[in-house]
Amino acid sequence: MEQMSEENMEEVKVLEAQIEHLQAEVSALKCQQQDNHKDITFHFRGHMQEAMSCMCGQRQGDKMEKVLSRLKEEVEELEEHLKLQTKMNGISLNSCITKTLQSSGRKLVQQLCVSGRCSELVFQVEFQLSEVKEGSGCGRKISDLNVVMDASDLQNFSSFLSGVEESRDLLLFFRTLRTFSDRCDDRRRTFQHFKEKYPSVVSLPGGCRSAVMTLNHPELSGCVLFVHWSVDVSREGGVSPKIELLTKIPEKALQLFPSQAVGGAAEAFQSLLRLLGPEAALESVIMAVSLSQDT
């Protein structure tokens, strides 16, 4: 019995030592947690926390003014940086929603939804971003890419969007979107310029952002020229404007003109395009149709 009692006492001592060791570890972990919380508060809440304290009256005088002044400067710097980025790439972001799907020490998977606009083109991009630690670096991979464009005239853009979703090439999408938008803006400015300069001849049935401009003289009823200006986008991201001249001439009018001259209007216009460029070629046609009425 005495031997059993001694053995029990030894076990109790061992257990007590283990309990003390665990208590020490718990205490150390609590201290570490408090230190980490202080670091997080310092690094991520610093200036904002000070500003809120000042606004609540916890800090007064010169220190409050310095904190608010520093916070204002930082906000202004961020705004200037955002304006510069928007001016450089032509893309303005309206929102970015991030949802964490998986998070571990080695892998992070997030679902992102980014919406914005490039000139008059509104877009929304959804995708999954996976980050995996590889040695000292970090590998990133995009999956489940889905692009939604809010525009009525994107027939020539749909094939490219399908290719981007398959290749998951976000850089190609944004680069091509900017180029496509610039070419559409060139067309809009040109159509609007001629509509204002030659109002009695030029009309834009679909508005200045449409692909069609019509030319007709008030005294030549039924004789209409159509300028069709499309912006084609290849599956690889190549952007190429295409301008064509189409004619609508009544049968009676055709009898009064040499058929070869009327029939060759489209080919002649293409020659003008190659020699003069879009604006000069279009103005030459408009002036011929207007009979110098608006000049």
Is pLDDT above 70 for 8?
A: no
Query: Cα 135–141–142 angle (5° rounding)?
Result: 165
Token pair recorded at residue 264 = 């060759």
Backbone φ and ψ for 168, nearest 5 degrees, come out as: 60, 40
DSSP state for residue 142 in the 8-state scheme: E
3-class secondary-structure state, position 59: coil
pLDDT at 212: 92
pLDDT at 65: 72
Place of tokens 């490219």: 160
* Average confidence (pLDDT) over 265-272: 84
pLDDT at 43: 46
pLDDT at 285: 87
pLDDT at 55: 54
CA distance 258 to 173: 48
CATH number of the 89-181 domain:
3.10.450
For the segment 20-79, what is each residue's pLDDT rounded down to a tens digit? 766 766 666 666 555 555 554 454 455 555 555 555 555 555 666 776 677 777 776 766
pLDDT at 44: 45
Q: How far apart are the first and last CA of the chain?
A: 124
CA distance 107 to 154: 38
Segments making up each domain of the chain, as ranges:
2-84, 89-181, 182-290
For the segment 208-260, what is each residue's pLDDT rounded down to a tens digit? 888 999 988 777 666 788 899 999 899 889 999 999 988 776 555 555 555 44
Backbone φ and ψ for 23, nearest 5 degrees, come out as: -60, -40
Is pLDDT above 50 for 7?
A: yes
pLDDT at 238: 92
